[in-house]
Structures are given as structure tokens and as C-alpha cells.
Amino acid sequence: MITKFQIAYKNLLRKKSRTALTLIGIMLSSWVLVSLLGFNRGYEAALNRDIDNMGYQVMVMAKGCPYEAATLMLQGGKGLRYIETSMLADIVKEPEVDKTTLILMQAFFDPNKGDDGGIAGYFGVEAATFPAMKPFLRFYQGAWFTDDSAQEAVMGFEAAELEQRVVGDMIMVPEVDVPLKVVGILERTGSQDDGTIFVPLKTLQTIAGIDKVTTIGIKVKKDADITKLENKLYQLPDVQVVSFSQVKQTIMKLISTARLMVLSIAIVAIIIAMVGVINTILMSVLERKQEIGILKTMGAMPGDIFRLVWTETLLLCGAGGVAGVVFAFFFAGVTDVLVRRILPYAPGGGLVLIDFKMSLFTLGIIIVVGLMSGLYPAWQAGRIRPLESIRSDS
């Protein structure tokens, strides 16, 4: 006994190269679509992770552009503005504030970094308050410095790996040639901390010749109203208050163009795949006009023929969709590298996160779109009259 499913499957094997090309088209569109969905989810998750790894939810900085503030916060940079440390006294008075820490960001040009030199980011942090803000940081070697004036440094994992440093080594701060002893190397976090060199606050202030800071990090009490705190902090003179929800929004806006571009590619890929499916199935129907006529002579109703042709579409789209999802899953790393090249800012960790639910959702979209593409050819096949097909042959 043969089933309609087996008939449909064997029909697709008749023109193997045409079926294979259509499958590749569907697979590519499925790959692009699931990767896009994975990117949307992965990017936001990576950004949240980076932000969580900051250890604090609100930052107070000198007044300026919020975009610049966001960049400074996550990547460091030159052309920094400073605030007085005395401002801390006003901040800690607020009932929403749980913990605070003073941070001085400094960037020095290192001629030995990369081929043409590069910026080395140094974070001046308080030994008493900063580690408490980030209790999740683990040490690969050594520990935090204990004295705010010590000539010591703690290196992020990648910074140490790049310079091949171990605890006990001496490093020189570029431009100013001040030696610092490496007392700790952090474990990899997948965040910006991996590329940072932490120095005691007072030491960095002395090196830079500044008695101010760039940032005051604020950890807000659990269930406290962050917006209310932000409004109160704005009353302080010449400050820019950056909350992480703002930062997230700003960065998401920055990458929205890239997301739109990828979405457009996905839509175009789906349309091309749809046209491919229509073409393949319609060609197959026209080529089998006599056979379809004979099936009707034997007792197949128009609905039977419609379902037969629709099953072929379902098989094509199902196989192509599954192949695309599997490819996207196994090549998420490659997609990650490609996406990083076109993004203005990419957080640490995986940017493309694909899970089972998302794969199923993509497969659903591909199959629904495929079945819609199969409607016209299936309808045409259902309308073939047996006599006309036999007559056209003779």
C-alpha cells in the first residue's frame, strides 16, 4: 500500500538538482531568519550581562553627551570630563543609595599595542568599595590590592593574556612610564573587565595629576525607585546621570540600523525562497499534467491532488527549514564573528543565542510561508481535467 506522503516524497526525487536548489534557498532563508532572531535575543542578553557585570545600576558623570557617557562607561575613551569627589557626600545621603564607589578612567596611548599602537584603558578604583560592588569577580591568580596608594595593578584576563603577564610581573603605564606591580589577574568574565587594568584610585590620580574622578558608581537598594533617585541626582550641579536602562536604550538605538539591515536581508531571503518554491512546485505540476490527469481518472478528487502537491511543498519547506536551523545552530560562532564586524558596539560573550523554542518558531514561519507559496500550484493542479491532460499528450 502506498500513501499520498510517499507519492509526494518520490515526486520530489524525480528532479533531484531542482529540488536540491530549492532546498538550499529555503535553508538559507531559514538560516538567516533564525540567526536574526538569535542575534536579537543574544545581543540584548550580552548587553544585559555586560551591564550586570558593572555591579552598579546608576552612574554619575560630568555633564555631556549621553552617548559619550555610555561609550565611556563601557569602553573607556579620551577627552574625559571630571567631577569633584566631594559630590559623594551628597549622594550617599539619598535613602535609595545602597553602596557607592569612586572611579577614575584614564586612557594612555601605548605604542606597542597592535600594529600602529592603541589606547590602554586604566580604571582607578577604591580597594575598599569597588570589589564589594563586583563580588562575582573571581581571581585567576593573586587578589585585589589593599592600599589605595600602592603601586600595584590587577589585570583583566585578556589584558594579562595579551601582555603575557603573571602575578609578580612589573608593567609600565605608557606615556608616563610609571611601574606597577601585578598583584592579581581576574578570571575571564566575557565582559569589558577582561581588557581592563585596575589600579588603586589614589595611585592613578597621582599618575594622571588629577584629584577628581570620572564616575561615581551607585548601587541602588533593592526595590528602590531608580527614577526618583535619578531625578534627585539631576539636582546636583553639572552632572550627567546615566542609568543602565538608559544606556541599554542608547546602545540598542545605535545597533537598530544593523538589526534593520539584517531583518531586510531575512525578508528578501524569504521572498526569494518563496518564489523558488512556487517555481519548483509549479514546474513540477506542469511537467506532470498527464500524470495528474491519470490520477484523477483513477479516482483522485481535486482535493486529493491539492493535498498531494501541498504535501510536496510541506516536505520541501520542512526539510529546508530544519537544515537551516541546524546550520544556524552549528555555525552561530561564524555568524557571531560576521555580526561583530558590522556593529558599532558589541558586548562580550555570544551575540547569537539560538534555542529550541526559537528554532521551532522559525520552522513554523518557514512552513507557513512555504505552504502559502504552495497554494497557487496546488490549486492549479487540483483544476487539471483528466481529459485535457490525456488529449494534450496525444
Partner 1 sequence: MNIENVVLKASELTRVYRRGSEEISALAGVSLQIEKGEFVSFMGPSGSGKTTLINLLGCLDNPSSGNLELVGRNIFGGGAKVGEKDLTRIRREVFGYIFQNFYLIPTLTVQENVALPLAFYKKPGVEGEVERLLRMLGMEHRMNHLPGQISGGEMQRVAIARALVNRPDILMADEPTGNLDTKRTGEIGEILQDLNRNSGLTIVMVTHNPELARLAGRSIEMRDGLAYEN
- With respect to partner 1, which residue has the nearer C-beta, 224 or 314? 314
Print burial letters for 85-120: b (CB count within 10 Å at least 16), e (below 16). Answer: eebbeebeebebbeebbbbbbbbbebeeeeeeeeeb
Site string for partner 1, 257-296 (x = CB under 8 A): ---------------------------------xx--xxx
Closest distance to partner 1 from the beta carbon of 379 (Å): 14
Site string for partner 1, 99-138 (x = CB under 8 A): ----------------------------------------
Closest CA to 377 of 298, 332, 318, 314: 314
Using an 8 Å Cβ cutoff, are 309 and 281 in contact?
A: yes
- With respect to partner 1, which residue has the nearer C-beta, 10 or 340? 10
- With respect to partner 1, which residue has the nearer C-beta, 245 or 290? 290
Does 390 engage in binding with partner 1 (CB under 8 A)?
A: yes
Closest distance to partner 1 from the beta carbon of 312 (Å): 12
**Residue span binding partner 1 (CB under 8 A) among the ranges 10-18, 130-138, 172-180, 238-246:** 10-18
- With respect to partner 1, which residue has the nearer C-beta, 112 or 392? 392
Report the alpha-carbon distance of residue 84 to residue 377 in Å, rounded.
Answer: 73
C-alpha cell belonging to residue 182? 601585578
Residues between 200 and 219 that touch partner 1 (CB under 8 A): none
C-alpha cell belonging to residue 378? 496546488
Identify residue 166 by its one-letter amino acid code: V
**Residue span binding partner 1 (CB under 8 A) among the ranges 1-9, 97-105, 184-192, 348-356:** 1-9
- With respect to partner 1, which residue has the nearer C-beta, 107 or 295? 295
Does 386 engage in binding with partner 1 (CB under 8 A)?
A: yes
Report the alpha-carbon distance of residue 227 to residue 242 in Å, rounded.
Answer: 11
Closest distance to partner 1 from the beta carbon of 302 (Å): 7
Using an 8 Å Cβ cutoff, are 276 and 377 in contact?
A: no
C-alpha cell belonging to residue 180? 606597577
DSSP assignment of 345-394 equals: ---SS-S----HHHHHHHHHHHHHHHHHHHHHHHHHHHH--HHHHHHHH-
Q: How many residues bind partner 1 (CB under 8 A)?
A: 28
Identify residue 69 by its one-letter amino acid code: A
Site string for partner 1, 292-331 (x = CB under 8 A): --xxxxxxxxx-x---------------------------
**Residue span binding partner 1 (CB under 8 A) among the ranges 57-65, 144-152, 230-238, 383-391:** 383-391
Does 17 engage in binding with partner 1 (CB under 8 A)?
A: no
Q: What is the DSSP letter of 300?
A: -
Does 381 engage in binding with partner 1 (CB under 8 A)?
A: no
User: Dihedrals φ, ψ of 190, to 5°?
Assistant: 75, 10
- With respect to partner 1, which residue has the nearer C-beta, 8 or 26? 8
**Residue span binding partner 1 (CB under 8 A) among the ranges 26-34, 200-208, 357-365, 381-389:** 381-389
Report the alpha-carbon distance of residue 136 to residue 50 in Å, rounded.
Answer: 13
- With respect to partner 1, which residue has the nearer C-beta, 84 or 393? 393
Helix axis angle, 332-342 to 16-54, nearest 10° = 60
Does 393 engage in binding with partner 1 (CB under 8 A)?
A: yes
Does 6 engage in binding with partner 1 (CB under 8 A)?
A: yes
Does 385 engage in binding with partner 1 (CB under 8 A)?
A: yes
Closest distance to partner 1 from the beta carbon of 370 (Å): 22
Does 2 engage in binding with partner 1 (CB under 8 A)?
A: yes
3-state secondary structure of 59: strand
Closest CA to 56 of 184, 240, 215, 283: 215
- With respect to partner 1, which residue has the nearer C-beta, 6 or 227? 6
Give, in order, the Cα–Cα distances in Å from 358 to each of 28, 232, 267, 348: 16, 42, 17, 22
Going by their DSSP bridges, the two strands 197-200 and 118-125 should be labelled as parallel
Contact footprint for partner 1 (CB under 8 A): 1-4, 6-7, 10-11, 13-14, 290-291, 294-302, 304, 385-387, 390, 393-394
